[in-house]
Copies of this chain bind each other. A is one copy, B any other.
Amino acid sequence: MISTKGRYALRLMIDLAEQDTDIYTPLKDISKRQGISEKYMELIMKELVKHNLIKGLRGKGGGYKLSRRPQDYSVGEILEAAGEQLAPVACMLPDAKSCGREKSCPTISMWEEFGRLSHDYFYGISLADLAGNSLQNIPKTNR
């Protein structure tokens, strides 16, 4: 299951996508809007910065902003950057140690197919698809 960390990461990214994506937004503002503790948010932001999903600027007038356009992020890469695992079982992780039974394992192809399914699903949804100000979420009558 996707943990709090991954869900928060998504919310933070959506929040940034809904702001003016050119200026730096301080953590404090996002924290207030989202109702998430500043300190806990910091840790997640750090991960997102490390994976180059967002840019951080220190000092007065600083904050965070997206490093790309919202439509150029997939939900999958955001979740993975936050440390979530899209693989369904441990033996399919890149650094998995062999269980010694893989040649005769009757379940491995099932896990593989589900792994592909999950990957394709979450990599097929963009941040813009989720952000409230994106075109596809505005009712047609308001366009």
Closest partner residue, chain B, to A92 (CB atom) = B1
Asked if A67 is an interface residue, CB under 8 A from chain B, the answer is: no
Copies in the complex: 2
Closest partner residue, chain B, to A134 (CB atom) = B106
Find A117's partner among B2, B7, B87, B121 (CB 8 Å cutoff).
Answer: B121
Q: In the complex, what residues of B have CB within 8 A of residue A89's CB?
A: 1-2, 7
Residue from A1, A85, A125 with most neighbouring chain B CB atoms (10 Å): A1
Asked if A132 is an interface residue, CB under 8 A from chain B, the answer is: yes
Q: DSSP majority for the A interface? A: helix
Asked if A10 is an interface residue, CB under 8 A from chain B, the answer is: yes
Q: How big is the A interface, by class?
A: 20 to 34
Measured CB to CB, the closest approach of chain B to A125, in angstroms, equals 6
Cα–Cα, bound, A77→B89 (Å): 17
Asked if A14 is an interface residue, CB under 8 A from chain B, the answer is: yes
Asked if A63 is an interface residue, CB under 8 A from chain B, the answer is: no
A131 touches B106 (CB 8 A): yes
Instruction: State the A residues within 8 Å of B (CB).
Output: 1-2, 7, 10-11, 14, 75, 85, 87-90, 106-107, 110-111, 114, 117-118, 121-122, 125, 130-132, 137
